[in-house]
């Protein structure tokens, strides 16, 4: 059984919280829907179609919208939706007009590329951490925050917060090797492709909420922290072999009408939890983020309205569905796993 990394007598320097889920919650569905188009091109029907469906029957418990430009210079519009069970998500997918629109044959021949990455994850295989009691993501499904947790602010705390690493003999080693699929444009565009993931890919969504920051704190964040965050995410995106990061997207959150929400997050998929831990603990690009944040804390004398949070998922093959429709070959997991 893996041993906890919690130091003896550890008391963290600042409080942090994680969500707690009752035994009745068997799994939570994390659903990412995206549409891509060359930067400056006119958007298609994706946003209007999905917006209409997520407000209908069997709607998700929580929805976030975001946008980013990928390394191929395609603008991506993204919706992240959470359902409290696989049955609830499947009921929505069976009955929604969006499902019928998505599945239509002519989606492969239109201007937009479409992608969906759907993960059904048991609570024992993910963890959350928040710098304040302001829920978002899976924490917004109505499950309460408990008391502040001790398992944070030391290397290894992330693994300690995942129940299966301490309750079962599971170190979450990758179940298979990944190699670059090197799809051509002809092989990925005008195609509908599903990719099978191996077990134990590690997905992290790490968020920054500066909507409550005053002008001075916001300026400090933009000048001191954000450049290092952007550089770190670019390193992960552009150096997958060195980092073990298969996909990295730095997104700006927008409201459902597309207006900037003063929030951002990085969404990165690593070959394993160990790859994420190694980058976080020792790589200069992450240490620069870490150090710039504490420099900001010193400059602000510890008084921050910036809210930080993350959720880390350990995926299993049976609970993952990744589909790419008319997408460029560097989208998501397309470049790593043959369909």
291-299: average pLDDT: 93
Phi, psi of 328 (to 5 degrees): -70, 155
DSSP secondary structure letter of residue 225: I
For this structure, is 310 an active site residue? Answer: yes
Give the percent of the chain with pLDDT over 70: 95
**Which residue from 86, 178, 84, 72 is spatially nearest to 115, judged by alpha carbons?**
72
pLDDT band for 1, please (50, 70, 90 cuts): very low
Q: Which of 275, 286, 310, 328 is catalytic?
A: 310
Phi, psi of 159 (to 5 degrees): -65, -40
* Count of C-beta atoms within a 10 Å radius of residue 199: 17
CA distance 238 to 247: 9
Rg (CA), the chain: 20
Parallel/antiparallel/unpaired status of strands 113-121 and 28-38: antiparallel
Q: What is the pLDDT of residue 4?
A: 77
Q: pLDDT tens digit string along 185-205? A: 777 889 999 999 999 999 999
Extract long-range pairs of 4-7: CB within 8 Å, 24+ residues apart: 4/151, 4/156, 4/160, 4/166, 5/154, 5/155, 5/156, 5/157, 5/159, 5/160, 6/150, 6/151, 6/154, 6/156, 6/157, 6/160, 7/154
Minimum mean pLDDT among 16-25, 88-97, 170-179, 219-228: which range? 170-179
CA distance 267 to 252: 11
CA distance 36 to 76: 4
Q: pLDDT tens digit string along 239-284? A: 999 999 999 999 999 999 999 999 999 999 999 999 999 999 999 9
On whether the CB atoms of residues 48 and 65 are closer than 8 A, the answer is no
Q: Which residues pair with 268 in a beta bridge?
A: 204, 248
Q: pLDDT tens digit string along 198-238? A: 999 999 999 999 999 999 999 999 999 999 999 999 999 99
83-89: average pLDDT: 96
């Amino acid at each position: 059984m893996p041993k906890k990394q919690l130091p003896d007598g550890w008391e963290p320097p600042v409080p942090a919280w994680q969500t707690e889920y009752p035994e009745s919650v068997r799994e939570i569905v994390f659903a990412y829907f995206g549409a891509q188009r060359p930067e400056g091109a006119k958007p298609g029907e994706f946003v209007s179609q999905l917006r209409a469906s997520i407000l209908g029957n069997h709607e998700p418990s929580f929805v976030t919208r975001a946008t980013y430009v990928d390394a191929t210079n395609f603008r991506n519009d993204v919706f992240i939706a959470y359902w409290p069970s696989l049955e609830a998500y499947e009921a929505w997918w069976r009955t929604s007009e969006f499902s019928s629109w998505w599945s239509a044959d002519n989606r492969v021949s239109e201007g937009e590329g479409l992608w969906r990455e759907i993960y059904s994850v048991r609570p024992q295989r993910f963890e959350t951490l928040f710098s304040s009691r302001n829920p978002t993501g899976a924490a917004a499904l109505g499950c309460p925050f408990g008391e502040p947790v001790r398992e944070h602010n030391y290397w290894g705390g992330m693994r300690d917060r995942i129940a299966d690493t301490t309750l079962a003999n599971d170190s979450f080693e990758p179940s298979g090797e990944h190699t670059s699929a090197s799809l051509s444009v002809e092989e990925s565009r005008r195609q509908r492709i599903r990719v099978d993931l191996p077990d134990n890919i590690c997905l992290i969504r790490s968020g920054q909420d500066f909507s409550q920051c005053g002008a001075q704190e916001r300026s400090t964040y933009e000048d001191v922290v954000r450049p290092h965050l952007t550089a770190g995410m670019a390193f992960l995106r552009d150096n997958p072999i060195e980092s073990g990061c298969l996909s990295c997207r730095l997104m700006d959150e927008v409201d459902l009408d597309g207006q900037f929400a003063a929030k951002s997050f990085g969404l990165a998929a690593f070959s394993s939890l160990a790859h994420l831990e190694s980058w976080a603990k020792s790589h200069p690009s992450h240490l620069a983020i870490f150090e710039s944040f504490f420099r900001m804390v010193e400059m602000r004398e510890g008084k921050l309205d910036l809210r930080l949070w993350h959720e880390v998922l350990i995926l299993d093959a049976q609970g993952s569905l990744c589909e790419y429709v008319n997408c460029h070959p560097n989208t998501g997991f397309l470049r790593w796993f043959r369909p």
